[in-house]
């Protein structure tokens, strides 16, 4: 007996929100205090924002730690009705939580993520795995696949990488990233920096700069298991360098990362 794939259970609201239930056990902490402990979270996509956030039934939130916001923002989170300040052991976090105006989500509360915008809850967990920046989108794939393609990377006309053993990383909504072994990269032309970023799909990235562009290349010293094949390999911003694959020069894509790479000071 065959079965059909389950259809995507996304709902829409008149306000333009998309949301769907999640089966994951989600917890959020501020310091050592658990503020959210939910087995019935929902994922919410706001208009114009490509990544989701979680919202939680009120009964799975420590509402005793929430206070009506003293200075609620306007024009954020799709016209949210109510904002809350979070009070944990006398430490007040302004506008840390909110409710959406949609009737479907009236009994749910959403929270900011500290590592995404600089305020909100410090640590988030799906089951027993800590996640960073924002929830992972269940409709997004990230695949790291070893390849034998010939990849050449140039910066300002100088070849800085040349390999026949890249790992290609395919991530929904982004251009293919070419991760290159260190032995095939001109590390003498790249200077390590203190910059780092977090990704809920890949882990924490460290960066290097060229002589003309800051933080143009990154690597994952300790990637998440799903993309373990990119460990310690180096990837360049396709948006800002010239990449040739199997003799074919690739067009520089336009993405949210375009023109965000500054020149070194």
CATH of the domain at 119: 2.170.150.40
Q: Are residues 203 and 120 in the same domain?
A: no
Comparing CA positions, the residue from 208, 256, 265 lying closest to residue 232 is: 208
- Grouping H, G, I as helix, E, B as strand and the rest as coil, residue 191 is strand
pLDDT value of position 117: 75
Cα separation values, 219 from 49, 94, 203, Å: 26, 34, 10
Average pLDDT, the chain: 91
In a domain, 25, yes or no: yes
Where does a domain end: 82, 101, 131? 131
Q: Are residues 64 and 108 in the same domain?
A: yes
Q: Are residues 126 and 157 in the same domain?
A: no
Question: Exposure pattern of 223-257 as b/e (b: 16+ CB <10 Å)?
Answer: bbeebeebeebbbbbbbbbbbebeeeeeeeeeeee
pLDDT of residue 180 exceeding 80:
yes
Average pLDDT over residues 156-167: 97
Place of tokens 């910059």: 195
| Total domains present in the chain | 2
In a domain, 260, yes or no: no
In a domain, 166, yes or no: yes
Q: Are residues 169 and 235 in the same domain?
A: yes
Q: Are residues 156 and 239 in the same domain?
A: yes
pLDDT value of position 8: 57
CA distance 166 to 145: 9
- Grouping H, G, I as helix, E, B as strand and the rest as coil, residue 56 is strand
Contact 100, 44 (CB under 8 A): yes
Residue 79 pLDDT level (bands cut at 50, 70, 90)? confident
Q: Are residues 155 and 86 in the same domain?
A: no
- Give the pLDDT confidence of 243-258 residue by residue, as tens digits: 999 999 999 998 877 7
pLDDT value of position 2: 41
CA distance 148 to 166: 7
CA distance 126 to 124: 7
Residue 198 pLDDT level (bands cut at 50, 70, 90)? confident
Q: Are residues 80 and 150 in the same domain?
A: no
- Grouping H, G, I as helix, E, B as strand and the rest as coil, residue 254 is coil
Domain span at residue 104? 11-131
Q: Are residues 49 and 160 in the same domain?
A: no
Residue 5 pLDDT level (bands cut at 50, 70, 90)? very low
CA distance 118 to 26: 20
What letter would DSSP give residue 114?
H
Where does a domain end: 101, 131, 161? 131
Q: What are phi and psi of 184, to 5 degrees?
A: -105, 15
Helix (H) or strand (E) holding 179: strand 177-180
Comparing CA positions, the residue from 42, 182, 198, 185 lying closest to residue 111 is: 42
Angle at 230 between CA 169 and CA 241, to 5 degrees: 60
- Grouping H, G, I as helix, E, B as strand and the rest as coil, residue 111 is strand
What does the radius of gyration of the chain's CA atoms come to, in whole angstroms?
Answer: 21
Q: Are residues 124 and 36 in the same domain?
A: yes
- Grouping H, G, I as helix, E, B as strand and the rest as coil, residue 117 is helix
């Amino acid at each position: 007996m065959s079965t059909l794939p389950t259809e995507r259970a996304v709902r829409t609201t008149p306000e333009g929100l998309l949301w769907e239930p999640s089966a994951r056990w989600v917890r959020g902490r501020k310091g050592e205090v658990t503020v959210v402990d939910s087995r019935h979270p929902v994922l919410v996509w706001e208009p114009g924002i490509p990544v989701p956030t979680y919202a939680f039934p009120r009964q799975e939130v420590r509402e005793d730690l929430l206070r009506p916001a003293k200075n609620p923002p306007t024009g954020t989170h799709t016209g949210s009705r109510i904002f809350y300040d979070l009070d944990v052991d006398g430490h007040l976090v302004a506008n840390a939580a909110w409710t959406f105006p949609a009737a479907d989500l009236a009994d749910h509360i959403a929270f900011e993520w500290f590592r995404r915008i600089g305020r909100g809850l410090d640590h988030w967990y799906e089951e027993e795995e800590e996640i960073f920046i924002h929830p992972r989108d269940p409709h997004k794939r990230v695949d790291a696949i070893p390849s034998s393609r010939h990849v050449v990377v140039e910066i300002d006309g100088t070849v800085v990488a040349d390999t026949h053993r890249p790992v290609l990383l395919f991530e929904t909504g982004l251009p293919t990233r070419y991760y290159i072994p260190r032995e095939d990269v001109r590390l003498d032309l790249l200077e390590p920096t203190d910059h780092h970023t977090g990704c809920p799909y890949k882990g924490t990235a460290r960066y290097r700069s060229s002589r003309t562009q800051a933080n143009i290349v990154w690597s994952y010293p300790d990637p998440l298991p799903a993309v373990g094949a990119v460990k310690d390999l180096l990837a360049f911003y396709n948006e800002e360098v010239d990449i040739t694959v199997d003799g074919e020069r690739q067009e520089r894509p336009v993405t949210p990362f375009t023109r965000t790479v500054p020149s070194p000071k």
